[in-house]
């Protein structure tokens, strides 16, 4: 995180608070959020994109504290369930700045979205278009149509969403995207008077997540502008908004590629401008939906070492008090992390280590190929950076392990955003 500092005694401080002090006060595992880092990244995106709308993708990490912070920084919010919307509602997130996503929005999701008056619903199927048209308050809704532009961002297969043959959106290549536009505009009388169903605000695409190839975003922008032009040619309607989604990759380890918001902003805006000039279209209002790029670096997870074993393959197996229940990403995507000793300075040089979790699965490995001081021992604190996005939000109670708290740090102070689960929490829904 931006405010992380190595202390002379080997500890690490974040937001002016030492990890050892946080662990003593809140226990471990502990998810620490550097508030300054989140705010800085919100501003970097806003600065890079001028008058574009930046909508934070709440799936990366959402709680009331985070939603408030996002609102304060002037960002919009992308939600994808009535649960995420409930958090937005709880902090009175400005409804006009909320976007509702989802390839299979349930009746509850749609009811909640329309009831709250979200600024845009991103339609993902013909049946959803029909449901929105039939909804009593549908006509007051603004809609985006989600398009699969057929651009491959070159990320993990499970995170690829812009190609044909995956579940999201209307493929551009088959004509389904154009047909979706036809269905929505077909509900409108000429000039938009007597409109039944939602207003079509524009088009949306999202290529996937953890993408670092900027040319993929440029290519998607060009294809989407061409579709805006085709809509204008067929219907005589110039749609005002173009949402290019999120997916901007971050470096989990030193030396890995990371999307620079400024370069992204320059290249994407230029691609849109040039494509619009080519098609003689006015430049649409852009929307971007970064999730990981806002939250990932702000997070550090602190664990306590429980046991140390010699590994058959050399090095040591260091087991900690968390694992796949607070970080399922290594298991799901083969995600790689770094780890360091915190709380004290190690001695005896570094040696190869594998950091494993406490869960009842051999695949519960947090960090492969780690290096830790030779004297690492039970009771030590370990810190894993870059755990602010898709960690807390993907946490589970596997093995009935209680989910960790999230504590925000800033200017030498810590405050709890989400408290640790208790045994009562675990039993609260177990009513048999
Ligand atoms: N917009 C839409 C419509 C999305 O589906 C997503 C992410 C985003 C924006 C934000 O993408 P980001 O900027 O965070 O890459 N659990 C996976 C990531 C799944 C992303 C799902 N959709 C992981 O841990 O890597």
CB of 102 within 8 A of CB of 109? yes
In a domain? residue 339: yes
> Mean pLDDT across the stretch 308-327?
95
Among 292, 323, 338, where does a domain finish? Answer: 292
Q: Decide whether any atom of ligand 1 lies within 6 Å of the 209 Cβ.
A: yes
In a domain? residue 139: yes
C-alpha–C-alpha distance, residues 153 and 268, integer Å: 14
- Position 270 scores a pLDDT of 98
Confidence band, pLDDT 50/70/90 cuts, at residue 232: very high
Q: Do 254 and 311 belong to one domain?
A: no
Which of 157-161, 324-328, 387-391 has the weakest average pLDDT? 157-161
Q: Do 187 and 305 belong to one domain?
A: no
Q: Which of 263, 281, 132, 286 is nearest to 204 (CA)?
A: 286
Percent of the chain's residues with pLDDT above 70: 98
> Mean pLDDT across the stretch 225-234?
98
Percent of the chain's residues with pLDDT above 90: 94
pLDDT, tens digit, 9 for 90 and up, residues 354-372: 999 999 999 999 999 999 9
Confidence band, pLDDT 50/70/90 cuts, at residue 290: very high
pLDDT, tens digit, 9 for 90 and up, residues 102-125: 999 999 999 999 999 999 999 999
**How far lies 352's CA from each of 79, 125, 255, 370, in Å?**
41, 50, 19, 6
In a domain? residue 39: no
pLDDT, tens digit, 9 for 90 and up, residues 11-33: 999 999 999 999 999 999 999 99
Three-state DSSP at 213 gives coil
CATH number of the domain that residue 277 is part of: 3.20.20.10
Write out the catalytic residue numbers. Answer: 360
pLDDT at 190 over 70: no
Q: Print burial letters for 326-343: b (CB count within 10 Å at least 16), e (below 16).
A: bbbbbbebebebebbbbb
pLDDT, tens digit, 9 for 90 and up, residues 136-157: 888 889 999 999 999 999 999 9
> Mean pLDDT across the stretch 222-239?
97
Strand ranges across the sheet with 5-6: 5-6, 12-14, 17-18
Q: Do 147 and 220 belong to one domain?
A: yes
Q: Do 246 and 346 belong to one domain?
A: no
pLDDT at 193 over 70: no
CB of 123 within 8 A of CB of 143? yes
Confidence band, pLDDT 50/70/90 cuts, at residue 263: very high
Residue 329 counted as an annotated binding residue: yes
The predicted complex's ipTM stands at 0.99
- Position 186 scores a pLDDT of 87
Could you tell me the distance, in angstroms and rounded to a whole number, from the CA of residue 415 to the centre of ligand 1? Answer: 27
Q: Decide whether any atom of ligand 1 lies within 6 Å of the 373 Cβ.
A: no
CB of 207 within 8 A of CB of 161? yes
- Give how many domains the chain has, as a whole number: 2
Confidence band, pLDDT 50/70/90 cuts, at residue 194: low
Could you tell me the distance, in angstroms and rounded to a whole number, from the CA of residue 318 to the centre of ligand 1? Answer: 31
- For the chain, give the longest Cα–Cα distance: 78
Q: Do 222 and 366 belong to one domain?
A: no
Among 253, 270, 292, where does a domain finish? Answer: 292
Q: Do 67 and 198 belong to one domain?
A: yes
pLDDT at 189 over 90: no
Q: Do 231 and 325 belong to one domain?
A: no
Q: Do 175 and 284 belong to one domain?
A: yes
Q: Where are the beta strands (DSSP E) in 226-343?
A: 241-243, 285-288, 299-310, 316-320, 340-342
Q: Do 28 and 95 belong to one domain?
A: no
Q: Decide whether any atom of ligand 1 lies within 6 Å of the 245 Cβ.
A: yes
In a domain? residue 243: yes
In a domain? residue 389: yes
In a domain? residue 44: no
Residue 292 counted as an annotated binding residue: yes
Higher pLDDT, 187 or 160: 160
Q: Which of 129, 122, 114, 172 is nearest to 144 (CA)?
A: 122
Q: Which atom of ligand 1 is nearest to 292's Cα?
A: 14
Residue 282 counted as an annotated binding residue: no
The total number of residues shown for the chain amounts to 432
Residue 290 counted as an annotated binding residue: yes
Q: Do 133 and 198 belong to one domain?
A: yes
CATH number of the domain that residue 326 is part of: 2.40.37.10
In a domain? residue 137: yes
Q: Which residue has the tokens 């505009």?
A: 185
Q: Decide whether any atom of ligand 1 lies within 6 Å of the 289 Cβ.
A: yes
Could you tell me the distance, in angstroms and rounded to a whole number, from the CA of residue 246 to the centre of ligand 1? Answer: 7
The CA angle 282-285-288, to the nearest 5 degrees, is 140
Count the helices and strands in the chain (H runs, E runs).
12, 21
Confidence band, pLDDT 50/70/90 cuts, at residue 407: very high
Give the residues across from 359 on adjacent strands.
Answer: none
Structural domain including 26 reads 5-33+298-428
In a domain? residue 43: no
Q: Where are the beta strands (DSSP E) in 22-95?
A: 30-34, 53-57, 76-79
Q: Angle between the 261-279 and 214-235 helix axes, to the nearest 10 degrees? A: 30
Among 249, 264, 292, where does a domain finish? Answer: 292
Q: Which atom of ligand 1 is nearest to 295's Cα?
A: 14
Q: Which atom of ligand 1 is nearest to 333's Cα?
A: 25
Instruction: Count other Cβ atoms within 10 Å, centred on residue 104.
Output: 10
Q: Do 305 and 279 belong to one domain?
A: no
CB of 201 within 8 A of CB of 144? yes
Q: Do 98 and 210 belong to one domain?
A: yes
Higher pLDDT, 304 or 139: 304
> Mean pLDDT across the stretch 272-293?
98
Q: Which atom of ligand 1 is nearest to 291's Cα?
A: 14
Residue nearest to atom 18 of ligand 1 (CA): 209
């Amino acid at each position: 995180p931006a405010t992380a500092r190595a202390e002379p005694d080997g500890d690490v401080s974040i937001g002016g608070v030492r990890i050892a002090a946080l662990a003593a006060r809140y226990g471990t595992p502990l998810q620490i959020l550097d508030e300054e880092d989140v705010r800085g990244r919100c501003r970097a995106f806003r600065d890079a994109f001028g008058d574009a709308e930046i909508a934070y993708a709440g799936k990366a990490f959402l709680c009331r504290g985070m939603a408030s912070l996002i609102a304060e920084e002037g960002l919009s919010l992308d939600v994808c369930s009535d649960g995420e919307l409930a958090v937005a509602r709880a902090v009175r997130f400005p409804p006009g700045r909320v976007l509702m996503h989802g390839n299979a929005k349930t009746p509850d999701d749609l009811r909640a979205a329309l009831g709250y008056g979200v600024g845009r619903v991103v339609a993902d199927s013909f049946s959803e278009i029909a449901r929105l048209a039939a909804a009593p308050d549908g006509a007051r809704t603004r809609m985006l149509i989600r398009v699969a532009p057929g651009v491959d961002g070159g990320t993990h297969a499970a995170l690829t969403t812009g190609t044909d043959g995956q579940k999201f959106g209307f493929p551009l290549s088959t004509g389904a995207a154009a047909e979706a536009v036809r269905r929505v505009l077909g509900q409108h009388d000429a000039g938009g008077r007597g409109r039944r169903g939602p207003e079509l605000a524009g088009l949306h695409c999202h290529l996937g997540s953890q993408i670092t190839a900027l040319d993929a975003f440029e290519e998607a922008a060009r294809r989407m502008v061409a579709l805006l032009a085709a809509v204008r040619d067929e219907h005589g309607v110039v749609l005002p908004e173009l949402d290019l989604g999120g997916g901007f990759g971050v470096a989990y380890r030193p030396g890995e590629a990371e999307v620079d918001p400024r370069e992204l902003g320059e290249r994407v805006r230029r691609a849109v401008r040039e494509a619009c000039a080519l098609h003689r279209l006015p430049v649409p209002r852009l929307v971007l939906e970064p999730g990981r790029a806002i939250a990932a670096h702000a997070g550090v997870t602190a664990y306590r070492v429980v046991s140390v074993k010699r590994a058959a393959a050399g090095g040591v197996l260091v087991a900690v008090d968390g694992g796949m229940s607070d970080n399922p990403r290594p298991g799901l995507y083969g995600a790689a992390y770094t780890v360091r000793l915190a709380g004290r300075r190690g001695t005896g040089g570094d040696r190869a280590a594998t950091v494993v979790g406490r869960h009842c699965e051999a695949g519960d490995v947090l960090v492969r190929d780690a290096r830790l001081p030779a004297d690492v021992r039970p009771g030590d604190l370990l810190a894993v950076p870059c755990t602010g996005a898709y960690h807390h939000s993907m946490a589970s109670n596997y093995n009935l392990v209680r989910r960790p708290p999230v504590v925000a740090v800033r200017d030498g102070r810590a405050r709890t955003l989400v408290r640790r689960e208790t045994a009562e929490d675990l039993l609260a829904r177990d009513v048999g």
